Chain A
Amino acid sequence: MNATTKTARVHRLTAAKVGRGLWSIVRGVIIAGICFTILQPLFVKLSVSFMSEKDLFDSAVKYIPKHFTLNNYKLALKGMDYWNSLLRTFLLSGGVALLQLASCMLVAYGFARFRFPFKKILFACVILMLIVPPQIIMLPLFMHFRFFDIFGVFKAVNGAPVSLLDTYWPFLIQAATCTGFKNGLFIYMLRQFFKGMPKELEEAAFVDGCTKLKTFIRIIIPSAVPMMVTIFLFGFVWQWMDSFYTSLYLKGTMVIPVALDSLSASVYSEYSNYGGSMNFISPGFISMMNNTGTILAMVPLVILYLVCQKYFVEGIERSGIVG
């Protein structure tokens, strides 16, 4: 009797082990497959960017180009005016991300820690801002910044309202007032984070005579670094790739998303100036240019992501976004 239970236990143990081993294999396959699905298009883009047009229509060529060329990069660098637009986009995205990080943190801290009248209604307004698609206020925003005026001041001085199009002011104004791209989401995430922080430190600082702003700067900011990096990264990246507001406000100024959007057309027009034989833009050529341009636009982001990655994952984990 004793012996049979013993063998049964041994068997059950091995069965559990086998099950666990099988599960880890299945898990590995699933995760590898999904990672492949994410990475494969990136590899395709990379490999297409080194191909010449012949390779695209060659069915024997899949990933490794037969006619290796850097010509695409030359054309794309020129067509995008890459280094100048890179600098511009860097300044724009950095400025916007920093400004909106600062303003969203202040607002989120206000909502997380203090009681004030109409707080619930105002927070509902934050959520409302998240829900309203930007396309609804796109036209009024355009008109607002096209004929920009604060209480008629500019009209009195200049005789006419100022046009802020093709400047960075619309972006900076929106970032500073938390009405920019997905700022509602940032406020929400930061508020949840601040709510999860222990109150005791702030109370101690307050008892020791710190003002509320000083407490915020001295105590809250140092302990919120991973979350801040996350929000900064989100803001930076979404501004970097955003073609919605950039195509709205910047018509003549080349920044990366605008340049990327019009890349194949602008390179083509240069081609035809040379009296080239292309009467139409071939889809292969468009694809090559787009892929090369996308790679060029992504490289800075990948570097940034690799640098911030540790903070990013940590910040997400500690955000504790619960209901």
Chain B
Amino acid sequence: MKKKGYFKRVQGKLRLTLLGREALAGIGFALPFLIGFFGLFLPMIVKSVSYSFSNMTVEKTGYVLTKAANNGFEHYIRALTIDPDFNRQLLQAILDMFTKVPLILIFSFFMANLLNQKFHGRAVARSILFLPVILTSGVVLGLESSDLLLTTRSPAEMTGTDFSTIMNVSGLLLEYTDLPASAINFLASAVNGIYSIIIASGVQILIFLAGLQSISPSLYEASSMEGATAWENFWKITFPMISPLILVNSIYSIIDSFTSETNAIMKDIKSTIFSEVKYGLGSAMAWIYFVCIGIILLVVGSLISRHVFYNDEQR
């Protein structure tokens, strides 16, 4: 494409070219975001960094920042080496993420494939499956996880026999197969935590479903004519076509798992700031946490995007 300027000179006056007018309109439409990002979001980020490096005292008309000890790194050092819970919770959050996210991805992909087929009562099944997106969010999730009575009545732990079934099955698996114990534990935790997985995978099912429906049926027709089986169709057409969404969904699930309200470390940061009134320490903890999230996202994103197939002809 030829590069054009945004302005032109007409009779000595500066006028907008067509491209310039388009750019102006685009910026005009994006203005709310630009104001929000540069006027509110970015200053907040900068302030948050500066809080984490300083001690804050609140007064009636404002607050005063003084530089923290150890060149300002006092709070970071405290969070990582002195705080008894922080490291453990950080590790726990990361481990939880790594066990949960693959399960969520597999489950939501499977469910999207099921819901994409034609059967009686599909509309009803869809509305019920999207219900958790609506109902089990925010404060309800927190209440549900802290409710002692409800957890004993949840489907997984309704009776003692259910749990012992899981134990028996995993015992049998251990005895008669060569599967490593860690894999069996993983499976058992997946079965046990099915409710939390279903609840966390609403948006992902939506995204996969939208992707599945955007695959053109002519691809399947052509390959069936050539004699491909359904199994081959799945791996040669559906899977590559959906792979960009696997990337989107895994990133979304990772963020969702890290920022959900049931996450222990999130609660910890909030209580450090508002209950214990340690502003600097809380901000430092939040930043350490965010750096961890960022690194994990980068690694996972680059690993998956290597295998993603982009169908460029369609665009």
A117 at the interface (CB under 8 A from B): yes
Return chain A residues, CB-CB under 8 Å to B293.
Answer: 131, 133
> Residues of B contacting A178 with CB < 8 Å?
32-33, 36-37
Q: Is A130 an interface residue (CB 8 A)?
A: yes
- The verdict on B91 contacting chain A, using a C-beta distance below 8 Å, is no
Contact with A along B263-276 (1 / 0, CB 8 A): 00010011001000
Cα(A115)–Cα(B247), bound, Å: 26
Closest to A143 in B: B63
Q: A131-B297, A141-B44, A323-B245 are in contact. Are A107 and B148 (CB under 8 A)?
A: no
Residue of B nearest to A290 (CB): B143
CB contacts (< 8 Å) of B126 on chain A: these are 313
Interface contact A212-B25, CB-CB below 8 Å: yes
Q: Check A136–B48 contact: CB distance below 8 A.
A: yes
Binary interface encoding of chain B residues 149-182 relative to chain A, with 1 for a CB under 8 A from any of its CBs, else 0: 1100111000000000000000000000000000
* A24-B119 in contact (CB<8A): yes
Is A3 engaged at the interface, CB distance under 8 Å to the other chain? Answer: no
How many inter-chain contacts with C-beta < 8 Å in the A-B complex? 263
- Report yes or no: A305 in contact with B131, Cβ–Cβ below 8 A: yes
B139's partner among A37, A114, A147, A261 (CB-CB below 8 A) is A261
Q: Are B134 and A41 in contact (CB under 8 A)?
A: no
- Complex contact B138–A257 (CB within 8 A): yes
**Contact A137 B41, CB 8 Å, known A187-B33, A313-B123, A322-B214:** yes
- Are the C-beta atoms of A56 and B32 separated by less than 8 Å? no
CA distance A216 to B28 in the complex (A): 13
Residue of A nearest to B146 (CB): A290
Given contacts A35-B129, A116-B22, A260-B143, are A107 and B41 in contact (CB under 8 A)? no
Report whether A30 and B48 are in contact in the complex, using a CB–CB cutoff of 8 Å.
no
Residues of B within 8 A of A179 (CB): 36-37, 40-41
Is B147 among interface residues, defined by CB-CB distance under 8 A?
yes
A238 to B114 CA separation, bound complex (whole angstroms): 27
Q: Are A243 and B128 in contact (CB under 8 A)?
A: no
Closest to A125 in B: B37
On whether the beta carbons of B25 and A114 are closer than 8 Å, the reply is yes
> Nearest chain-A residue to B45 (Cβ)?
A137
Given contacts A111-B30, A243-B261, A260-B143, is CB(A313)–CB(B245) below 8 Å? no
Q: Which of B8-16, B73-81, B94-102, B204-212 contacts A (4 or more CB under 8 A)?
A: B204-212
Within 8 A of A (CB), among B40-59: 40-41, 43-45, 47-48, 51
Return chain A residues, CB-CB under 8 Å to B36.
103, 174, 176-179
Given A131-B293, A243-B139, A301-B135: A35 and B210 interface contact (C-beta under 8 Å): no
Q: Given A177-B40, A257-B139, A320-B214: A312 and B130 within 8 A (CB)?
A: yes
Question: Which residues on the B side are within 8 Å of A140 (C-beta)?
Answer: 43-45, 47-48, 51
* Interface residue ranges of B201-239 to A (CB < 8 Å): 206-207, 209-211, 213-214
Among the stretches A7-15, A42-50, A71-79, A270-278, the one at the interface with B is A42-50
Are B195 and A37 in touch, CB under 8 angstroms? Answer: yes
Q: What 10 A-B pairs come out closest when comparing CB atoms?
A: A114-B26, A110-B29, A177-B36, A323-B244, A241-B138, A116-B26, A287-B149, A110-B30, A243-B139, A116-B23
User: Can you give 9 contacting A-B residue pairs, CB < 8 Å?
Assistant: A39-B131, A44-B150, A110-B25, A110-B33, A133-B255, A136-B45, A139-B48, A216-B29, A313-B126
A positions within 8 Å CB-CB of B: 24, 27-28, 30-31, 34-42, 44-45, 48, 56, 103, 106-107, 109-111, 113-117, 119, 122, 125-126, 129-141, 143-144, 147, 160-161, 173-174, 176-179, 187, 212, 216, 233-234, 237-238, 240-244, 257, 260-261, 283-284, 286-287, 290-291, 294, 297-298, 301-302, 305, 309, 312-313, 316-323
